[in-house]
Structure 1
Amino acid sequence: MMRLDKLLVELNIGTRSEVKALLKKGLIFVDGEKAGKPEQKVDENSVVITYQGKECTYKKFSYYVINKPKGVITATEDAHERTVMDVFYSQCPDAPKGLAPVGRLDKDTTGLLLITNDGQLAHDMLSPKKHVDKTYYVELDGELTPEDVAALEAGVHIGEGEPTAPATVKYEGGKTCYITIHEGKFHQVKRMFFAVGKTVLELKRTAFGPLVLDEEKLPVGHINELKCESFSCK
């Protein structure tokens, strides 16, 4: 059970003081009846709140995916740079507060990014012990040799003592490829290709665990909510 005023704040109807004012004016309905006092206890998992003719139901966790555009940093807030959450809330102003990106993509990297308030899921998706795959489309300044591919798949030294974990590289010639890793070291993909003498010109994440980027349904800069009650990285 949850206090009514707390639930209304969770539903993004207003601040604690704002929802108290709405309750006092009789503008909030609980299961079809005019709401009572702010301290009224309700079952957040089954109650239906109505405000301004719109029904609002509580979800413990929310999950969204964004095809991150270039030029924004992966952070919840920043004093100087535009963040991915600035982009998110500009398009989804009614989304729950407290959402955050899972992991990070560089400022100049595009692609699939999960946004949620499910802290356990975020931990599992990022934990090295879970071995959650991340796949990237890469554009390079030169062609890969068979030796380059073999080195990347075996693990390369990027200046952190131990070599990177084995990767999977899909390369069919030219200056583009796909690489799948399950670690998340700083600038890892760029540093891995630098280790074999190549510079990454464009980088886009195309898959993260069970999530796969479909650019027809999710163009750059767009956001989709995942319509599910729960989510697993297994």
Structure 2
Amino acid sequence: MNLYKEPLSRFLISYNLCSQRSAKNFVKNNEVVVNGNSIKDAAFLVDTENDTVIVGGKILPQVKHKYIMLNKPEGVVCSTVSDSHKTVYDLLKGNFNETELYKLKCVGRLDNNTSGLLLLSTNGTFVNQLTSPENEVEKTYFVKLRDSITDKKSYVLKAEKGIEIPPENKSPAFISKSAFIKWLSDESLEITITEGKFHEIRRIFSALGNYVVKLKRLKMGDFILDETLNEGEFKFL
């Protein structure tokens, strides 16, 4: 899985050279050269920050994407606007102009009551690769439960086998994919999942007869939350 490369078609579309519909024909019928090699496949992956792309003898400017790690606090939502809560974009204001700010897309969402690792990027391919269900990117969370557990092995086995989750709001019932639990104490643990259904971790423990009182994302794929970041702080990757 290449997180940073984008289809050639997307790069050409960003320069208004073609549309999504016409991209295949454009690449076939025009002289498109990437790093000295003639390319006739619109799906060819290019590193738009480092590769040299020439169309009709003219070099296209490279695109410098932004990649951000944010330590999201509770009480903040992953949307551009909210009537009742502060948004992650409110935390970033003052560091970007408005056009730059709203080109940043959240790499998966954390709900209002969940804190921790949130990635944002202007690279749509990067976002899609990390969030696409078929890629089964591992996500690890810290969980604190309401009730202490003595039979920890039972939780581990049930989570690994998959748990029948009842419907919630508009989200239908489902059987969770294997989740992996590492116990830290009688009421705290780390859990790793490979899907991201609506309130999945909270619903898993609810189905087990418990209640999540704190949820914090620690890791997503190869990206680990920098614990030197205070809540609300971010850094460029």
- 2:196 maps to what in 1? 184
Q: CA deviation at 1:215?
A: 1.1
Deviation string 1:25-51 (CA, Å, 9 cap, x unpaired) is xxxxxxxxxxxxxxxx99633xxxxxx
Choose the corresponding residue for 1:84, options 85, 88, 103. 88
**2:218 is the counterpart of 1:206:** yes
Deviation at residue 83 of structure 1 after TM alignment: 0.9
Instruction: Report % sequence identity.
Output: 35
Runs of at least 4 residues of structure 1 off by over 6 A? none
TM-score by length of structure 1 reads 0.68
Q: Could you tell me how far 1:93 is from its partner in structure 2?
A: 2.5
Shift of 1:143: 2.5
Contact 1:77–1:86 (CA under 8 A) maintained in structure 2: no
User: Which of residues 199, 217, 235 is equivalent to 1:224?
Assistant: 235
Per the TM alignment, residue 161 of structure 1 is displaced from its structure 2 partner at its CA by 4.0
Q: What does the per-residue CA deviation read over 1:155-211, in whole Å, with 9 as the maximum and x for residues that have no partner?
A: 111124431000110014321000000101111110001111110000100001110
Matched residue type, 1:65: M
Unaligned regions of 5+ residues in structure 2, if any?
1-11, 13-57, 167-171
The amino acid of 2:96's aligned partner reads: P
The DSSP-based 3-state class of the residue aligned with 2:77 is coil
8 A Cα contact 1:76 1:101, kept in partner:
no
TM-score, length basis structure 2: 0.67
Instruction: Write out aligned runs for 1:99-138 (5 A).
Output: 99-138=104-143
User: Which residue identity does 1:205 align to in structure 2?
Assistant: R
What SS does structure 2 have at the residue aligned with 1:96? helix
Q: Is 1:147 aligned with 2:154?
A: yes
Structure 1 unmatched ranges of 5 or more? 3-40, 46-57, 227-234
Give the alignment's Cα RMSD to 1 decimal: 2.4
The aligned residue for residue 31 of structure 2 is none
Aligned residues: 174
Counterpart contact for 2:105–2:127, Cα < 8 Å:
no
